[in-house]
Structure 1
């Protein structure tokens, strides 16, 4: 991993700014995300390619100083061990067929996936009950559905890895600042949080791509951390229009319900 990890300032007196995300997403969630994104057969995981992508995400987490990166390093070591075992030639004298090095990982992924499905189902049932209890008379109040021109009307929640995948694309396209420009570009996370909040106050929503368009890498990184903090503290919502669509950032109103993914990002 050779990505530069710049010192991202949280306030005037801090040397670095570490984002603490007590979220449901962990190493297994990232693996499931990569499998879903590339439409991979979970029973036949291309371990070399998945390991490469996994390490790229870990590299980004270290660049962003995410405090949960240590758990992902453990999984990265496991993936690299599986990869090395798969490169070993089979023993021609073995009486039994050797176990696939990926078998234990697949078992863990399937169990975890089932656990998440049950947890999401329970949370959806809880949300449905709450909505029925508090907003059961909504049809009699003259409320209308969101207009089709609003991407939120036909969008889904995003998780941490959806955001990081979009961030990575923006980071690769970002102009690189010269060394002497870095000090002039110094900006705090608090300042960028305030900038994003002001944008959302004026327009209610903004495309993530517009939010970071043309920003130098260091400012883009600080902006992304600011966005994570706004989502974590319940002041913003990130939604995606379709599985591969644009990510939109919305101002979160106090009475606006949140989805399971948004709740997980804030915990």
Structure 2
């Protein structure tokens, strides 16, 4: 029988070195960690104060520390009183806000997707002028257009109506610009040409081919428009007089003004509880739509 081959010490050292490659050491920055913690505290402390204050009674708000729970837990009582105060007008404000968001923000997202897709995939005269107008619309703040919009709607007799909030919300220059730039690379021209050769119309190509590819961008624009419409305050302030048409922002502002007026009901606990209830749908929307961002990033990472 032949003896088994011997392994030299040098070969053992080479094999051991190849089997255990050195791992790169993670670099840690104390300064960056401190800055991140400060930013996190700056973001979460107001939310923590709001949640804790919503659990207190009217007396507990002024007799206890802001970031400490009081002896009586009144969160559920405050929620019930918020929906029952003034014949349940808070529920009406909530429905109004949902209407403005669904029609206004949803319509703005659809229009931005259609216009951005068309500007990205079709060549026509005047594209440069349209691009300049869109950039000008992004640069102009919405508050600067509130008064001219009010004067125009007053001439048309549309003030103090839901249309006074919904129609301006349908125009989203930033959403249009975002969908334009996103559609340029997200939707390959070859796929659209193949669909046209197969006899598909432009709208069918958009809804069946382009929309699935534009999902991450659509979610981004939808969330942006939702937040802008949900938190809209100045435009409803100058457009609406009927409390039954108020959104949540203007309604809570009227309650706060009532609490600070001589002889008015001091309802700071309801204002704080209503503010907490106002941000819950936004948080839920971000959590529910987050998976579309993750799927879009994963899909983009697989493309070469």
Structure with a larger share of its residues in strand: 1
Regarding TM over 0.5, the answer is no
TM value normalised by structure 2:
0.24
Structure with a larger share of its residues in helix: 2
* Pair member with larger Rg: 2
